[in-house]
């Protein structure tokens, strides 16, 4: 039955339109002032995505918190925008903690989900005032307990469980013997059941709830139903064995899909599949706070990368279009063959007589291939079904849509390439620089060129 509902939703969804929040004239002005490639972030879109997630879960029978996983994009201006929406932030490293500390984020609005779970790490996290900690192993729980005893702080502990359910997604995070979280049972110390029992036996730890994350770009949501059913069984078992047991928080992770190439359901259509299951948990086990954790969905559609076409070549019915960027700025193109939607914008400021007369020339062949500037065979940009490269001529610009997640944080200096500038279109329609581009001098110094 659920499978059929999911399929009906997917059949009804039409291709999303790309989020064009910039005019051709603004593109030309930015390229003139800052050069290309460059990134542009739209502040209004960031805000709207938070509202869209909140609206999707408005029928949940309890409090809902939107959580931003800052690994997707830790630019300080983006974090400041989300701070205005009073959302929670999920951290997974001391580097991210440093950013949060510098921006004076309220520790009450932070959860910390470590992979390494080291003692010194937990001591720093607790010292900052972060109380809500997600543990993923028995060894990590021991380290957290030691840090709590040293500092005299009682953390609110959430257990990251691995439901071990089948997931249809671009990137799966739940599967048997997976890296993240612990299985629900199994008779081992590294199980959700044993970790919860251990927390209740430790006066320096307070059990807060459960966390799970099934994957990225999920489009079939039966996996959530299966995960929640498995969780319900575990809750029933724990209630029988621990008289004081209560669930205060449940974080169901991310997975909300973003449009790149194929149609995707909206957050509201996604939530509708398993919202009844969540409300049944409330009915059976009491009120709890529901956390909806997202990285990609909250930031992806907020950003565009602007690159310039610097060369082309044609043979047979193919055209190779070479840009002044490469996969070092969109690493998912090489790692995941990510098919970002692309569009050509005419360079109206092109003063070169060699190229200006050809900017609106239409290519009549069948195949256009986007290639980067790197000397690497992987430096090819897959195209989306939404891509329009008809006027991909030298001097014009190519816009890459929905690049706000991971692209900026994956920037690499391969081939001595520097980081491009990042600008933000603010709520009032203005443009401000939120990250300076780096120079060759910066890169030389960073790579040790000035060390005697």
Domain boundaries, the chain: 2-13+43-299, 301-446
Residue with tokens 């320096």: 204
Average pLDDT over residues 186-208: 93
CATH classification for the domain delimited by 301-446, as one of 3.40.50.720, 2.40.37.10, 3.50.30.60, 3.40.720.10? 2.40.37.10
pLDDT tens string 118-152: 999 999 999 999 999 999 999 999 999 999 999 99
Interatomic CA distance for residues 185 and 163, integer angstroms? 10
pLDDT value for 176: 72
263 pLDDT tier (thresholds 50, 70, 90): confident
- The CA distances from residue 110 to 42, 131, 262, in Å, are 24, 8, 33
pLDDT tens string 410-420: 899 999 999 99
Structural contact between residues 250 and 163, judged by C-beta atoms closer than 8 angstroms: no
The contacts of residue 98 (CB under 8 Å, 6+ apart) are none
Average pLDDT over residues 377-397: 92
Q: Which of 404, 372, 367, 406 is nearest to 387 (CA)?
A: 367
pLDDT tens string 91-103: 999 999 999 999 9
Interatomic CA distance for residues 3 and 20, integer angstroms? 34
355 pLDDT tier (thresholds 50, 70, 90): low
pLDDT value for 240: 96
Average pLDDT over residues 174-186: 80
Interatomic CA distance for residues 390 and 218, integer angstroms? 32
pTM, to two decimals = 0.92
The answer to whether residue 365 scores a pLDDT higher than 70 is no
Average pLDDT over residues 311-334: 92
Task: Say what percent of the chain tops pLDDT 70.
Answer: 92
215 pLDDT tier (thresholds 50, 70, 90): confident
The answer to whether residue 35 scores a pLDDT higher than 90 is yes
For domain 2-13+43-299, give the fold: TIM Barrel (3.20.20)
Task: To the nearest 10°, report the CA torsion of 50, 53, 54, 56.
Answer: 160
The answer to whether residue 383 scores a pLDDT higher than 50 is yes
Interatomic CA distance for residues 95 and 117, integer angstroms? 14
pLDDT value for 328: 94
SS3 86: coil
Most confident of 4-13, 17-26, 401-410: 401-410
| DSSP label of 417 | P
Average pLDDT over residues 241-253: 96
Residue 147 CB coordination number (10 Å): 23
């Amino acid at each position: 039955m659920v499978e059929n509902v999911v399929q009906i939703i997917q059949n009804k969804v039409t291709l999303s339109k790309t989020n064009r929040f910039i005019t051709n004239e603004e593109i030309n002005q930015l390229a003139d002032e800052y050069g290309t490639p460059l990134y542009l972030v739209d502040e209004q879109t960031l805000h709207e995505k938070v509202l869209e997630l909140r609206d999707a879960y408005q029928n949940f029978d309890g409090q809902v918190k939107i959580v931003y996983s800052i690994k997707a994009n830790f630019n300080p201006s983006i974090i400041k925008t989300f701070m205005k929406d009073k959302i929670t932030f999920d951290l997974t490293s001391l580097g991210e903690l440093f950013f949060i500390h510098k921006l004076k984020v309220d520790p009450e609005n932070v959860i910390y989900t470590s992979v390494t779970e080291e003692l010194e790490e937990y001591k720093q996290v607790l010292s900052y005032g972060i109380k809500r900690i997600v543990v993923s192993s028995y060894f990590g729980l021991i380290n957290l307990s030691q840090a709590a005893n040293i500092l005299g702080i009682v953390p609110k502990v959430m257990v990251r469980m691995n439901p071990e359910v089948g997931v249809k997604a671009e990137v799966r995070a739940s599967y048997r013997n997976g890296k993240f979280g612990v299985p629900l049972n199994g008779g081992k110390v590294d199980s959700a059941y044993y970790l919860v029992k251990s927390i209740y036996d430790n006066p320096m730890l307070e059990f807060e709830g459960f966390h799970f994350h099934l994957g990225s770009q999920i489009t079939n949501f039966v996996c959530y139903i299966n995960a929640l059913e498995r969780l319900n069984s575990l809750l029933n078992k724990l209630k029988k064995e621990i008289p004081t047991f209560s669930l205060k928080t449940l974080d169901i992770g991310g997975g909300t899909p973003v449009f790149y190439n194929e149609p995707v359901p909206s957050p509201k259509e996604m939530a509708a599949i398993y919202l009844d299951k969540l409300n049944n948990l409330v009915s059976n086990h009491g009120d709890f706070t529901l956390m909806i954790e997202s990285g990609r969905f909250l930031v992806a559609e907020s950003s565009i990368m602007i690159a310039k076409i610097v060369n082309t070549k044609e043979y047979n019915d193919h055209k190779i279009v070479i840009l002044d960027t490469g996969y070092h700025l969109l690493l998912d193109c090489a790692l995941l063959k990510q098919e970002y939607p692309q569009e050509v914008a005419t360079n109206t400021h092109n003063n070169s007589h060699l190229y200006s007369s050809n900017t609106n020339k239409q290519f009549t062949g069948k195949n256009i291939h986007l290639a980067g500037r790197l000397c690497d065979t992987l430096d090819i940009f897959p195209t989306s079904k939404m891509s329009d490269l008809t006027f991909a001529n030298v001097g014009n610009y190519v816009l890459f849509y929905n690049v706000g997640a991971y692209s900026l944080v994956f920037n690499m200096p391969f081939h001595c390439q520097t980081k491009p500038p990042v600008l933000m279109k603010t709520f009032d329609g203005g443009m401000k620089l939120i990250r300076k581009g780096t120079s060759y001098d910066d890169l030389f110094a960073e790579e040790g060129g000035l060390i005697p």
